[in-house]
Amino acid sequence: MADSITVYGIPNCDTVKKGRKWLDAQSVSYEFHDYKKKGIDAKTLKSFSKALGWESLVNKRGTTWRKLDDAEKENLNESKAIELMIENTSLIKRPVITGGK
């Protein structure tokens, strides 16, 4: 049996909506992890980072990034990025999907 699928994101995000709609149309069962309600922990973000690279997880195009102080954006590394993403879940590019094929 395939691994269970988890979709991580924010319900109002258009890209997340499109992804969930596609999965529903394909009759793929999945669990939705809402960052706004459930948050995210460092261990999970580190596993995402290991698989995808922390740079690809940080959404630098959104308003949340633009609202950060310049000091927070400077000298960004994996641990600093993970801290920022835990504090500001809208900084995480989405959706992130785990499990399945």
Q: H helices within 1-101, ranges in order?
A: 14-25, 35-38, 42-52, 54-57, 63-67, 70-73, 78-87
Q: Which of 10, 13, 68, 76 is catalytic?
A: 13
Q: How far apart are CA 83 and CA 40, in angstroms?
A: 10
13 is catalytic: yes
Active site residues: 13
